[in-house]
Amino acid sequence: MLQTAATLGFLRLALGSNAFAAAVKPLTEAWAGGVADLARDFRQRSLSPLQWQQAIAGLNATVPIHELLSYIDFARLKTALESRGPGEHFERVRLPPLETSGQRIWTAIFILPQGDAIPPHAHNNLATAHLVLQGRFRARTFDRVEDAPGRMVLKPNMDAVFHVGETVSMSDDCDNAHWFIAENSPVFTFDVSLRSPDLRQYQNPTDRDGRIFIAPADGRRNDGLVEAAVIDYGTSLSRFGKAANFLMYR
């Protein structure tokens, strides 16, 4: 699934396992080709955002994840990424079948250290899928019901733990806002992201990383919806950047 250790610097493929690379090449090419096909269908509107989310989760489930992951040196990967500082980090992964597909698909490996959170945030005109490679990835998600300057109205949708080989996703139509934590160990995910073909007009712009940070803990309503103020990244990190903050929210 991942390209080469020369690119990433932390795969056991760096040790010269050409036999393994040859053995999995047809499978990884088929998977990457499937990702490209889904991206094309999504951009041509043959798939709705929700249908893309369901399809990418189904495609990811076809990967023999445990066999492939046995060739990834997670200890080395953890050291390499965590050396950049506290909090989440990512390494871009460029897969040849996706790079040449013309679909502008962004792929990367993320690490979330144990006890840390990716604070609650939403996206504009984006679809993403996070395939869990290691750890227990707990996700709380919200549908975006209303968008107004400086705030959003959200519908709580899911609070679930995702395990190795499982996928959590989002789009403009479903689970657009999310909040992630690594409870008991570091979490590694393989992410696929692409822009939506339907550019909706939102009232709140994203930051340079494509996120809008929000405070869903502040505005619960009697009808079950949540009014969430838009906040800056620093405030979000101080209030919601640890798993303990997530666990206090009910």
Question: Per-residue pLDDT averaged across 10-23, rounded?
Answer: 41
Write out pLDDT tens, residues 204-222.
999 999 999 999 977 888 8
**Structure-token match 């712009």, residue found:** 205
Write out the H or E segment, with its range, that includes residue 132: strand 126-134
Under a CB-based contact definition with an 8 Å cutoff, are residues 67 and 165 in contact? no
Work out the mean pLDDT of the chain and round it to a whole number: 84
* Residue-level pLDDT at 25: 63
Under a CB-based contact definition with an 8 Å cutoff, are residues 18 and 71 in contact? no
Query: Which of 202, 148, 213 has the alpha carbon at shortest distance from 172?
Result: 202
Higher pLDDT, 104 or 22: 104
* Two tokens, residue 232: 């800056």
Q: What residues contact residue 199 under an 8 Å CB cut-off, 6+ apart? A: 125
**Starting from the edge strand earliest in sequence, which strands make up the sheet with 187-195, in order?**
89-92, 106-112, 187-195, 126-134, 167-170
